Chains A and B, each alone.
Chain A
Amino acid sequence: EPEVTQTPSHQVTQMGQEVILRCVPISNHLYFYWYRQILGQKVEFLVSFYNNEISEKSEIFDDQFSVERPDGSNFTLKIRSTKLEDSAMYFCASSRGRDGYTFGSGTRLTVV
């Protein structure tokens, strides 16, 4: 079964530092996404990426955030100058279309 791979599984960072979360989507998928989930809350959309560019972003995805597809396989989320409220589980996902996302196992980000 193809998987979406995320690294690291856990990341602790100091407030104000930059973090990069990494993802390897499923190779024949065309759409890539980042979501976050604050503990005990729902899964929130951050950004979608298609054809090497951002196709949509939420109001959460402000100038502090950026995404890149630096090569044919990796998909990264960068958070500049992290804040305490950025602590959450970050999920990468990919899909071929609307037939269902495959999510990675997530990166638990803790900002201290």
Chain B
Amino acid sequence: GQSLEQPSEVTAVEGAIVQINCTYQTSGFYGLSWYQQHDGGAPTFLSYNALDGLEETGRFSSFLSRSDSYGYLLLQELQMKDSASYFCAVYGGATNKLIFGTGTLLAVQP
């Protein structure tokens, strides 16, 4: 089966940098994704890492180390609107199903 671990909550101030870690256990690995979810809203795709290394998209970057079964999401120049839950997710097999972690609630303070 698959399992993913993330911190439950992170707090940071506006303008700062925050890193949200994710460790995973999976029987087969097809990539790690990150999703953002504002309260009551739909999860929104942020990034996908299939290979080791850093992927950058604007203020957000995502990193993967397959040998360590570990990844992180890095958010720079934090804004109040970044306050949300962030989920890491792994693909569970050839059917492309995503298995989500328990989520990290990010609170950005002024």
Contacts and interface: CB of A to CB of B under 8 A. Distances in A.
B18 interface: no
Contacts of B43: 43, 91, 101, 103
Interface residues of A, number: 23
A2 B42 CA distance: 15
B93 A100 contact: no
A101 B87 CA distance: 13
A104 B44 CA distance: 9
Interface string B41-66: 11111001010000000000000000
B24 interface: no
A41 B87 CA distance: 11
A101 B45 CA distance: 6
Nearest to A108: B40
A98 B97 contact: no
B95 A55 contact: yes
A42 B91 contact: no
A95 B96 contact: yes
B97 A106 contact: no
A99 interface: yes
A97 B30 CA distance: 11
B96 A105 contact: no
B79 interface: no
B100 interface: yes
A108 to B, nearest CB: 8
Nearest to A58: B97
Interface of A: 31, 33, 41-45, 48, 50, 55-56, 91, 95, 97-106
22 contacts: A31-B95, A31-B96, A33-B97, A42-B101, A43-B35, A44-B100, A45-B97, A45-B98, A50-B96, A55-B95, A56-B92, A91-B43, A95-B96, A97-B96, A98-B31, A98-B48, A100-B33, A101-B45, A101-B98, A103-B44, A104-B42, A105-B42
